[in-house]
Structure 1
């Protein structure tokens, strides 16, 4: 969601709903998405919203040692990020680890406590405590973990049900058991994919839950949270009915109903309650993203199979807690298997010759952390190809990030003073941050544009008013676009505050001439092909180089999913068929090797 749409409504929301526990508005994927897709500064967003709503706690989602990223970061990055987020307006940090590994959360808990803010530590819910055959994550598991979380210094215990797997009776039993076992307030967060969210919340309320997360009605349901408006009526007559003005909720819902239409082109979420989530167990936040990935890879017609393989991968990996980044790992593997038409048996039979997605390799290397009850040993051996995994917390082994070095580097890139927020953003997402800096240098701050214009542009003769600062408004009127020039550019005519202007732009609708690439021969172990449709991002070798078995040769990327191609034997690079940034399709020949004796 763009800052423009939130700033228009944040003050009325804070005024109309003063009894909210908190508003969650930052963290998780919203951090890199702001830079990557919305061309906005997430720090400025947070501070602008904070200024407009001083009376309600702000909450963020924090991925413990993964911060707001998808890998483990050094401890000094975690501590510095928490301190800056607290200074910029965050009051409550919902800390979780994607594997429910408490060791990975200790640094974050301590950092939040040192900042003087609220450390809300989450139990991520997986499995089914009502099913005796799913004994890995039973009621005893969650009670024991809750006690450990309390001892670790948490102020609040959260139940994070990211897929909406907590059935109503399970919600009652879990909350009841936790209320007996610990003295912390309990905050329940769940997605409504199954359609049972309101009923589950009502049962949790009966059991004594202290806080529940909801969404404004026009943004609620399915892969979002249960509806605030519906919960108000569901608990009518109950002594714990929310103290909220339903007319205010309805008015806010009307606003978001209108705004949501601006994003309809990007919605690929559920259109109706889908209880099959109890089978595939895909988190609500991942469902739409994974479907979009599948579409980009040309696999949309196989979506039902992808969901089935997603569950198969989960079981292969030992029945994981699935939330970012562990859910992404399961999703990457599912897409990899579907695109390459692989079965579980194929993985075990031919896995030694397969190049798995980097996220999968990192997971089995222990770089994400240690899963409850450990890794499947044989699968770990196949995926790591004999390399030894980590057994300690990754943050213990990572060197501190040199912030001064980053600051010096950015001082040569930015045309303004480098801030601590810039340094932290680069520490987490160096390429994403630098791409945003380059784009901002060209286009300036585009967050002030209204959403339809940002996404779709203006129609001929349409006029737009842009408030670039207090008391200063630009009036922009689109006049016409001229015919394309030989170099593929066009002249765009417009008026700026009534004066004619023109700008030359590249017409990206021109289709480049494409050539058919050679396909790798499946029965030739020296010909290495692309395992996913995407692009080449890095090449580590050149023609004639000698390489060892397992040596990294090149990296491909497909929708944020990287795959490193490794040498299957000791040999020599006979030929490279691609260059960095080349687009490739599944099976395209990337590199050809010959064994050392044949060179």
Structure 2
């Protein structure tokens, strides 16, 4: 993390927003220290807002809690305090009260960040500005609102002729908005599916960024028609977990658990009464082990034991368990593993996110620098006889014209005829739109406790045991992976592996039979 901060400063980052998804100060101290000692940048330290300070029935995240946390942040060496309201829960009158009190509590500037899921947040900004907030986060008009931030263009107009007006050129902002409106149309398949604002966010408290990912994640698990159940389950999981702060990555854990419960038809009561025989998602186990940090008030001991089973948790800072890195040796080994062209920044990416970097590297090796392709053509391809100019480097371009495509063969492959800089080329590609026969796997018999099945839809990424192997209770058997969520399935009882039905890489659905025990 320290090297990442130093390298980020070197490559142009000047403001570092530092936050912890559980508002746990020990997790932020090293980053704050790194910014102050190894850069001349600004350490903007965030406190994540959740709950409702004006709701007297919610006693965990009170005004006094936020005031004390703000003092701790200022004392840690922060240059700016950020209020990070990822779900858009901070209501206008609560914002006025919170900012007013914080202005009397600390002496550093206050920066407010929120998401506009309910469409209430422009009013929240107005009251925060009245209370003296120093900075608010906005988004250009065409990209604003809903799970994004409040509309910059509208906020500029809202403050026109007021005491704290900023002299933005609204005509220029509107021109930028028109441009981004056109760009956004290219990305419509990745929209959250949310057509209008919803005050439901005050019920389920799903952060804006996570809400955007919820639909595709649910669809990957075969739960695209159960979004409402998932939102309800999200609230239930938050209650089970003890009303934790929900910001990446803690919000993802709550989301993983909600998806897992809906996929496995589990209720809140099932978790509490049958948890000892349930294999929970890896992210849930990691949270309760202490890998992310410690929540306000700690974990509920009985639930923690239920989820961790034989795994021992810890309460100290997670990174204290890491071995110090020799970057010279690591870079040398890194170049040997990949290729000599990889850089130190690539190494940092790999150390922080090894699996993600490996996938990125493999795709880049296979397809090259695809970001040179115009967005429209990248997502939607070319029509017959359409031509596109691709700038691949300064002063270096290629002209691609699609001539035609053959009909798919028996394997679903098409020949693509094109001209590359005037020269005819033919390549063969798999037509993924072709319907193929779907192989159905065997299902477990619910009454047979010797059969072990998949708890959710996804890919069988790892089988951790061998046929004939003796296994103990709670020993990991296999891993199911589904769009950023991994679940390790463990043995409910000791026994011997009689038969392994499916191999790694197999696509599975809920209750597909994976292995049989004696």
Structure 2 length-normalised TM: 0.97
- 1:389-411, CA deviations, whole angstroms, 9 ceiling, x for partnerless residues? 11111111122345445433432
Cα-to-partner distance string for 1:406-458 (whole Å, 9 max, x where unaligned): 43343235444331111111112222222222222222111111111111111
Q: Is residue 2:148 matched to residue 1:224?
A: yes
Note the C-alpha offset of 1:386: 4.0
State how 1:187-586 maps to structure 2 within 5 Å.
Answer: 187-401=111-325, 403-404=327-328, 406-586=330-510
**Structure 1 position 205, deviation (Å):** 0.3
Residue number among 49, 71, 86 corresponding to 2:9 in the alignment: 86
| Contact 1:488 1:507 (C-alpha < 8 Å) held by counterparts | yes
Measured in 1, the distance between the counterparts of 2:161 and 2:56 equals 35
Higher relative contact order (CA 8 A, sep 6+): 1
Q: 2:29 aligns with which of 106, 112, 121?
A: 106
CA distance in 1 between counterparts of 2:224 and 2:412 reads 32
CA deviations over 1:497-547 (Å, ceiling 9, x no partner)? 222222222333344443321112223322111111001111111100011
Q: Alpha carbon RMSD of aligned pairs, Å?
A: 1.5
> What is the rounded CA distance, in whole Å, between the counterparts of 2:116 and 2:159 in structure 1?
17
3-state SS of 2:113 partner: strand
Say if 2:114 and 2:149, in contact at 8 Å, map to a contact too. yes
1:301 Cα deviation after fit:
1.9
Greater shift, 475-484 or 143-152, is seen at 475-484
Unaligned runs of 5+ in 2: none
- Tell me if structure 2 keeps the 8 A contact 1:476–1:494: yes
Residue 162 (structure 1) aligned with residue 99 (structure 2): no
Q: Please give the secondary structure, in 2, of the residue aligned with 1:518.
A: coil
Give, in whole Å, the separation in 1 of the partners of 2:330 and 2:451.
Answer: 40
Mean Cα deviation higher: 421-430 or 516-525: 516-525
Deviation per residue, 1:111-161 (Å, 9 max, x gap): 111222111000100010010001100000000000000110001000000
SS at match of 2:150: coil
SS in 2 for 1:477: strand
Give the drift of 1:558: 1.2
Gaps of 5+ in 1: 1-77, 595-599
- Report how many aligned residue pairs link the two structures: 517
Equivalent of 2:61 in 122, 137, 142: 137
Render the CA deviation track for 1:147-203: whole Å, top value 9, x for unaligned: 000110001000000000000001101111111000000000000011111100000
Give the drift of 1:554: 1.0
* Partners of 2:192 and 2:214 within 8 A in 1: no
Q: Which moved more, 1:568-577 or 1:167-176?
A: 568-577
Residues 304 and 110 of structure 1, relative CA distance in 2, 3 Å threshold: same
Whole-Å Cα distance in 1 between the matches of residues 453 and 330 of structure 2?
36
* CA–CA separation in structure 2 for the residues paired with 1:305 and 1:506: 36
Q: Taking structure 1 as reference, are residues 333 and 421 closer, same or farther at Cα in structure 2, changes over 3 Å only?
A: same
d(CA) in 1 for partners of 2:21 and 2:46? Answer: 10
Equivalence for 1:153? 77
The answer (yes or no) to whether the contact 2:220–2:458 under 8 Å persists in 1 is no
